[in-house]
Structure 1
């Protein structure tokens, strides 16, 4: 079975590099940008191009695999494998030519995530994990931070697109955490936030109302780096909390989760 995992893993590495090169090349050109669920929920022509690039390649090489993609939803398969693809995680950053954006690709087998790849093309950073094999940044092994004191910790978070209209907007939780930690960062890419936890750069991360394409790859990378994950489904999307176990538990208490 692991040979089948490796076949997909190797293809992902090839495809994210090709797609990432195109994203970087097109980044400084005029982009067609549209709105989705809210006026701050953007999609660019490169989101669409990258999604089509992955759809076509997956269907060509693994035609029996299912696909869950941010831009095109679900296509069914019967192989037991499902791809979870976010063509650009951090679209607002990309649209503003801010370099913190990523391509996030996970592969699940019979419901279990077995491959996670997050590639930040403008940064030249590729985070990878195969279940049971550890987590890596540009082929160098990474582990989560060992810091346990919140006052020494940097924590990441994000805010949902409907923050102005829904009371579950993370503002109360943010205010509970900010006074107790060394710093809070808001990168605009959930996948990259999770990878920074895996690499030991951030001690923790939490966010509400994110979707599987935002977190599936990053969650596996955190777990393979020795981190802990708390995840639960909400009425809209998912809540995800990540970190080393001690920091995770302290953040969980502050945000009352």
Structure 2
């Protein structure tokens, strides 16, 4: 699809994503000089995340100054918080990969109107791959139309996922889930950037992808790209309200339908606090537990 045929708001998102990608690519040439901070255990942020986010926000607000912004590193500090339009941004999805020099990371930008994602861009700067979609107009990788996989048997399916890495994650519970999925599929993969994982479902590289603990900026753009490629997105019980549920299942329709009953018993992991944005406790206050609270599905026999 030529740039002339793209929605104007999508064109602005693409411009912003490429500008952020240029920042990231320049920084990748000298990783040793990058300052790395920690938001929580194994949850890193670099000056590159901040620089990429700044150039995205500048580009978007120059074009649409009345729009709202939801960005991973700065929250809702920019734009018009009352707008019906909200840009949902992850400036560098896969920061841990980036700081290790593993070239699997991306820029993710979505535009939601009244909480429905309308435009989506995921840009892989190391490969110069641009995944994009406009609601109702299909999904593309560069100029090539994307189609979700046509595989129908779960035993033939290649499935992407994310591994738990935060304090408080119930590792035994995840291992039980992985054991079940691994034995019923052709393979499980974990590259480490959810936005790209979703695009891989849209492209048919994966037949499905699932992960818990994700935020809206991890999945907003990729989920529209999946849906516009003919795939399905939902939470682990198959409901479409996944954006703020901290769990997502995406896949081609036949494989998605077979994974829902496997994942449903593991649904609804509710953490008592957001570890990545935990505020420091006032002086003299008792420390909060960092343990996740797991709400058990009464119909499930899965040990929590």
**If the length of structure 1 is used for normalisation, what is the TM-score?**
0.92
1:224 aligns with 2:228: yes
Deviations 1:150-187 (A, max 9, x none): 2211100002332x533276322111101111111101
Q: What residue in structure 2 maps to residue 27 of structure 1?
A: 28
Instruction: Report the CA distance between 1:43 and its aligned residue.
Output: 0.6
Deviations 1:83-140 (A, max 9, x none): 0000000010111111110000000112110001000000221100000000000121
Comparing 247-256 and 86-95, the one that deviates more: 247-256
Instruction: Report the CA distance between 1:8 and its aligned residue.
Output: 1.8
Count of aligned pairs: 251
Higher share of residues assigned strand: 1
Instruction: Report the CA distance between 1:58 and its aligned residue.
Output: 2.2
Instruction: Report the CA distance between 1:56 and its aligned residue.
Output: 2.0
Deviations 1:191-247 (A, max 9, x none): 00000000001000000010000000000000000001113779x951100101221
Q: What residue in structure 2 maps to residue 66 of structure 1?
A: 68
The question of whether the paired residues in 2 share the 8 Å contact of 1:105 and 1:118 is answered with yes
SS of 2:104 mapped into structure 1: coil
1:10 aligns with 2:11: yes
The question of whether the paired residues in 1 share the 8 Å contact of 2:19 and 2:55 is answered with no
The question of whether the paired residues in 2 share the 8 Å contact of 1:170 and 1:208 is answered with no
Q: Distance in 2 between matches of 1:183 and 1:249?
A: 18
Structure 2 residue corresponding to 1:36, chosen from 36, 39, 62: 39
**If the length of structure 2 is used for normalisation, what is the TM-score?**
0.78
Comparing 110-119 and 53-62, the one that deviates more: 53-62
Q: What residue in structure 2 maps to residue 201 of structure 1?
A: 205
Q: Distance in 2 between matches of 1:117 and 1:172?
A: 34
The question of whether the paired residues in 2 share the 8 Å contact of 1:242 and 1:248 is answered with yes
Q: Distance in 1 between matches of 2:261 and 2:195?
A: 23
Q: Distance in 1 between matches of 2:245 and 2:112?
A: 19
Q: Distance in 2 between matches of 1:123 and 1:237?
A: 31
The question of whether the paired residues in 1 share the 8 Å contact of 2:110 and 2:119 is answered with yes
SS of 1:216 mapped into structure 2: helix
- Give me the CA root mean square deviation: 2.0
Comparing 50-59 and 215-224, the one that deviates more: 50-59
Q: What residue in structure 2 maps to residue 46 of structure 1?
A: 48
Pairing 1:129-208 to 2, within 5 Å after superposition: 129-162=133-166, 164-167=167-170, 170-208=174-212
The verdict on how the C-alpha distance between 1:78 and 1:165 changes in structure 2, with shifts beyond 3 A counting, is closer
Q: What residue in structure 1 maps to residue 100 of structure 2?
A: 96
Q: Distance in 2 between matches of 1:20 and 1:166?
A: 31
Deviations 1:34-82 (A, max 9, x none): 11121x1111110010111122222222111000000000144444210
